[in-house]
Chains A and B, each alone.
Chain A
Amino acid sequence: MRLSYPANIKIIQVPCTGRVDIIHLLSALEDGADGVYVAGCLEGECHYLEGNYKARRKVAYVKKVLTELGIEPERVAMYNLSSAQGARFAEIANEMVEQIRDLGPTPVR
């Protein structure tokens, strides 16, 4: 397939997005990431039944925290796609990078 996606994305692999916790998303932002997104399996298709739903709730919580701090909540996002959707993965990566470019660099430096 050899699809390309922006090189400024750092991928952190987890066995399931259910492993992603609030502190992981906050730590990334604290360390200066301009944005963080979670790429989970399609809703209803989690191998562990509800890992992606759990991740979605964590993302929503962090969005709320960012709003309270006066930081754009769009800097964190949840996406759902299957492991067979390579093209969609590249598309999401571009979409997120564009979104963050529009917002500008993080105010957390």
Chain B
Amino acid sequence: MIVADRKSLEEILGMVADREKLLILGCKGCVTVCNVGGLKEAEILASTVRIARKKEGRPVEVTHRALERQCDNEYVAQLADDVANYDAVVSMACGVGPQFLSEMYPDQVFFPAVNTTFFGGAVQHGVWEERCAGCGVCGIHLFGGLCPIARCAKSLLHGPCGGSSNGICEVNKETACIWDAIVKKKMETGHLEDLLAVRPFKDWRTARDGGPRRSIREELVKGTL
């Protein structure tokens, strides 16, 4: 899923400081799963904003709701009858949400309430880790199921660098050297020789280096599926 962290209250309150009527809009997709921007979090943020503004002596009207997803126009369209009723909308979705909203409703202002961080998963309750970099050409199977693009600080493809020490990456003591893990796994499974293969240069044009990407599924566009 896409993982995000909520912005500080200070930052959110600063964004909406001069607004009198707000909609806090959650998303029932990834941000609900990572407990940052679902209906529940939208309700809590709405109450918190009202408390903060009451304390300042400048009450604000805040409504909250959540869309099924903010990354699909069919759901974003559900806001059509209501969106003009607010001074601003605070989106709790990943970075995709405020953009889809802004594109459909150019006259409204949409503030992001979260910082979108990475594609990952929960390794324990409350802890998420990056697992995918969305590079566009998946080669996880070549590395024992562990992705060196997303999980090696240098995205190396031919083994660890000199900064790997006792299985830890030099960039951060909390970060495992994924190449250490890849080599160990290959040794354990008796496939170490797989790593001798010389890999061609990775074509980074399919990653962000090629500019904003687009995925077209002809059969869906034509409606033939």
Q: When the two chains form the complex, which single residue of B40, B43, B44, B54 contacts A108, counting CB atoms closer than 8 Å?
A: B54
Closest to B10 in A: A68
What A residues does B195 contact at CB under 8 A?
none
Closest to A29 in B: B51
Residues facing B in A42-86 (CB within 8 A) are: 65, 68-71
A103 interface hit (Cβ, 8 Å): no
What A residues does B44 contact at CB under 8 A?
22-23, 26
A6 interface hit (Cβ, 8 Å): no
**Interface of A, helix, strand, loop or mixed by DSSP:** helix
A33 and B118 CA atoms in complex are apart in Å by 40
A23 and B24 CA atoms in complex are apart in Å by 15
Residues facing A in B38-77 (CB within 8 A) are: 40, 43-44, 47-48, 50-52, 54-55
A27 interface hit (Cβ, 8 Å): yes
Closest to B8 in A: A68
Q: When the two chains form the complex, which single residue of A26, A68, A71, A107 contacts B47, counting CB atoms closer than 8 Å?
A: A26
B54 touches A30 (CB 8 A): yes
Interface size on B (CB < 8 Å)? 13
Q: When the two chains form the complex, which single residue of B9, B43, B50, B54 contacts A68, counting CB atoms closer than 8 Å?
A: B9
Interface size on A (CB < 8 Å)? 14
B48 touches A65 (CB 8 A): yes
A69 touches B55 (CB 8 A): yes
Closest to A61 in B: B44
Q: When the two chains form the complex, which single residue of A22, A27, A69, A109 contacts B52, counting CB atoms closer than 8 Å?
A: A69
A109 and B53 CA atoms in complex are apart in Å by 10
What B residues does A109 contact at CB under 8 A?
54
What B residues does A70 contact at CB under 8 A?
55
Instruction: Determine how close the nearest CB of chain A comes to the CB of B12; give it in whole angstroms.
Output: 10
A51 and B3 CA atoms in complex are apart in Å by 28
The 9 closest A-B pairs by CB, nearest first: A26-B47, A108-B54, A107-B55, A68-B9, A69-B52, A30-B51, A108-B55, A108-B51, A23-B43
26 examples of A-B residue contacts, CB within 8 angstroms: A22-B44, A23-B40, A23-B43, A23-B47, A26-B47, A26-B48, A26-B51, A27-B47, A29-B51, A30-B47, A30-B51, A65-B9, A65-B48, A68-B8, A68-B9, A68-B10, A69-B9, A69-B48, A69-B55, A70-B55, A71-B51, A71-B55, A108-B51, A108-B54, A108-B55, A109-B54
Chain B residues proximal to chain A, CB less than 8 Å: 8-10, 40, 43-44, 47-48, 50-52, 54-55
Chain A residues proximal to chain B, CB less than 8 Å: 22-23, 26-27, 29-30, 65, 68-71, 107-109
